[in-house]
């Protein structure tokens, strides 16, 4: 009920004030409004069970056969899965832009600028796309093309890992710089990167904390479900050029480990590559590589990393923020994921529109 109230109030803005043509482009009101709905829900309660925020929530839709998919940029009358196509995919697409591609500050500035410029006017999709690029100064054409005009999913595969010690007088090394702490990757299915960042942002006060009378059944229910691991980890932004002097190279020679990672783009949609390293001593690191790594070759990339410690395992997209439809090829050594049958068995309860008549958590509690 809270989600629906938030959603319908949001329509005052999209599409009523920023007045897009909902008959032609349903996603411009339902998608943008569902995105704002999720932002609002997650400021209401850090554990709000939002359905159209986290990237991994759209993967079931995006791995459907192509004849059951249309691009978001499709006239509303021609869409098969209306909820996923016009609400979920555009809303989650904006969330990926905000959390993973542009960053919150740049995204929020640009999205506000779109709303400000087009209030009481009639924007088309191109007006949104152009304003986001114009206000941010970022080239996002690749993203509009991939996420809004195509049905290609993200499926980045970690094909191979080669390991060696750095030889004496090695000429080519890649340095790692710019350490900053982030929360450890989350370990349960009820959390996502937006919720983690909201918790870390000390300027945010959740409505259910500010006013305790708002702590209803679902607030208590969510508290029982979620176990949050807040152990700190480290994020590393790799430098692209060789910055070591010969003296430094000689100092590190023989003590460093080189890891050459080969990736292939099996889904067609390019995305940033996010790597979680787990070392043999149990510590972890995160490396975030911008999407431009695919610029010269959108099918395959190879990148080498230098590590002090020996790596025990590698995981791609550990926070599930790129909507990668096949997590089975995201790890080294490779891991086995649950089969579709196991996944099906592990699911319970009905979603909106599922029409199974299954009770929701509050109904089950009352019985
Ligand atoms: Zn709506």
- Model confidence pLDDT, tens digit, residues 29-76: 999 999 999 999 999 999 888 889 999 999 999 999 999 999 999 998
Q: What are phi and psi of 41, to 5 degrees?
A: -55, -40
State what percent of residues in the chain have pLDDT above 70.
77
CA–centroid distance, residue 14 to ligand 1 (Å)? 9
Q: Is 348 a domain residue?
A: no
85 and 163 belong to one structural domain: no
Number of structural domains the chain divides into: 2
170 and 113 belong to one structural domain: no
CA–centroid distance, residue 70 to ligand 1 (Å)? 20
Predicted pLDDT at 28: 97
Q: Is 175 a domain residue?
A: yes
70 and 40 belong to one structural domain: yes
Q: pLDDT at residue 165 above 80?
A: no
CA–centroid distance, residue 271 to ligand 1 (Å)? 28
183 and 332 belong to one structural domain: yes
CA–centroid distance, residue 194 to ligand 1 (Å)? 22
Predicted pLDDT at 228: 43
96 and 126 belong to one structural domain: yes
142 and 160 belong to one structural domain: no
Nearest to 25 by CA among 64, 78, 62: 78
Q: Is 112 a domain residue?
A: yes
Number of other residues whose CB lies within 10 A of the CB of residue 285: 19
CA–centroid distance, residue 148 to ligand 1 (Å)? 19
CATH number at residue 114: 1.10.390.10
CA–centroid distance, residue 32 to ligand 1 (Å)? 9
Q: Is 217 a domain residue?
A: no
140 and 37 belong to one structural domain: yes
6 and 136 belong to one structural domain: yes
Q: pLDDT at residue 187 above 60?
A: no
Q: Starting at the edge strand that comes first in sequence, how are the strands of the sheet with 257-265 ordered?
A: 156-165, 257-265, 300-307
CA–centroid distance, residue 215 to ligand 1 (Å)? 26
Question: Is this prediction's pTM over 0.85?
Answer: no
239 and 307 belong to one structural domain: yes
Domain that holds residue 309: 156-187+229-336
Q: Which residues of 148-169 are buried (b: 16+ CB within 10 A; e: fewer)?
A: beebbbbbbbbeeeeeeebeee
Q: Is 98 a domain residue?
A: yes
CA–centroid distance, residue 107 to ligand 1 (Å)? 22
């Amino acid at each position: 009920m809270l989600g629906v109230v938030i959603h319908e109030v949001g329509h005052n803005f999209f599409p009523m004030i920023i007045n897009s043509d909902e008959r032609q482009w349903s996603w411009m009101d339902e998608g943008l409004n569902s995105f704002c709905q999720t932002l609002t829900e997650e400021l209401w309660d850090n554990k709000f069970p939002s359905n159209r925020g986290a990237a991994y929530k759209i993967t079931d839709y995006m791995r459907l056969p192509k004849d059951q998919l249309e691009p978001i940029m499709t006239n509303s009358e021609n869409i098969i899965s209306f909820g996923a196509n016009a609400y979920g995919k555009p809303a989650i697409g904006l969330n990926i832009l905000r959390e993973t591609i542009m960053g919150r500050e740049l995204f929020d500035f640009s999205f506000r600028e779109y709303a400000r410029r087009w209030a009481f006017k009639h924007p088309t999709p191109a007006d949104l796309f152009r304003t986001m690029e114009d206000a941010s100064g970022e080239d996002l054409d690749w993203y509009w093309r991939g996420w809004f005009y195509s049905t290609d999913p993200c499926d980045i595969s970690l094909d191979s890992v080669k390991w060696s010690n750095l030889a004496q007088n090695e000429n080519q090394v890649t340095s790692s710089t710019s350490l900053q702490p982030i929360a450890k990757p989350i370990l349960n299915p009820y959390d996502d990167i937006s919720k983690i960042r909201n918790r870390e942002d000390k300027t945010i006060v959740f409505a259910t904390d500010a006013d305790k009378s708002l702590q209803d059944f679902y607030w208590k229910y969510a508290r029982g479900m979620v176990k949050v691991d807040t152990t700190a980890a480290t994020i590393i932004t790799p430098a692209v050029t060789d910055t070591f002097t010969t003296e430094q190279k000689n100092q590190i020679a023989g003590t460093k480990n080189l890891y050459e990672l080969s990736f292939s783009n099996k889904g067609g949609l390019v995305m940033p590559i996010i790597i979680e390293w787990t070392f043999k001593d149990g510590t972890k690191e995160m490396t975030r590589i911008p999407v431009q790594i695919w610029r010269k070759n959108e099918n395959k990339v190879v990148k080498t990393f230098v590590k002090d410690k020996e790596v025990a395992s590698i995981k791609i997209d550990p926070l599930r923020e790129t909507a990668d439809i096949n997590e089975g090829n995201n790890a080294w050594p490779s891991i086995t994921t649950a089969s579709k049958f196991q996944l099906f068995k592990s699911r319970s309860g009905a979603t909106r529109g599922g029409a199974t008549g299954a009770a929701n958590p509050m109904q089950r509690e009352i019985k």
